Amino acid sequence: VWCVAVTPDGQHAVSGCNDGTVRVWSLGSGEQVQKMVKHTAAVVSVAVTCSGRHVVSGSEDMTVRVWSLESGKEVLRFEGHTGKVTSVAVTPDGQHIISGSRDKTVRVWSTPYGLARLELDCARVAMRAVQEMQEDEGQEDPRCLVEIVLRCFLVEEAEVVVYRCLHLSL
C-alpha cells in the first residue's frame, strides 16, 4: 500500500497499491468492498471527491483515473504526463483534478471533458523564482530556503507561483 484516503462520511478508506489496484475498505467491518483494476503500474496517490461518489488515482503508469466509488468502474482517464504521476487532488466543486508528476509538471484537468486545461512546468517556475530572488537580494545567500507554492484560483487565470526567502539562524 502506497497511499490512503478516507471518504468524507468516514465510512470507507481507499488505498493505492503496488499491484496497480485501487481498493475500497469498510472502516466498520475492515473488509474490502471494492477493487478497481485498470492501472498497469503502482498506484501512488489517491483522493476522494467531496461528494464521496468518486475516487481519483495517480499511477506510475503515467495516468490519472477517476472511478465510481459505488460501482468500481472507471469513469474518466487522463493521459498526458510523460513521467510517473506522484500526486492527485480534486477541487472542492469536483470540476478539476490536479496531478503532479515526475515529469516536473502539475496539470489541471477539467473533469467534464478530460482535457488538460493548464500545465505548470515546476522546474522552470522554481528556477525563475530563485533567479528573481537572487536579483532582488543582489547576491546568493546560502542560508536562504525557497518556498514554492502553486496556487490555482481560476484555471483560466492561474497564479502560478508565490515565493519568499526564509533565512535560517545558523
Rounded Cα–Cα distance for residues 67 and 17 (Å): 15
CA 111 to each of CA 62, 76, 97, 123: distance values in angstroms, whole numbers, following the listed order: 17, 8, 7, 26
Rounded Cα–Cα distance for residues 117 and 96 (Å): 9
Torsion sign (Cα): 47, 48, 49, 50: negative
In tens digits, the chain (170 residues) has pLDDT values of: 899 999 999 999 999 999 999 999 999 999 999 999 999 999 999 999 988 999 999 999 999 999 999 999 998 888 888 899 999 998 888 888 889 888 888 888 877 655 445 555 554 554 454 455 445 554 444 444 433 344 333 333 433 333 333 333 33
Q: Which three cell numbers stand for residue 58?
A: 495517480
pTM of the model: 0.70
Rounded Cα–Cα distance for residues 30 and 33 (Å): 9
Would you mind telling me the total number of residues written for the chain in this entry? Answer: 170
Rounded Cα–Cα distance for residues 138 and 131 (Å): 10
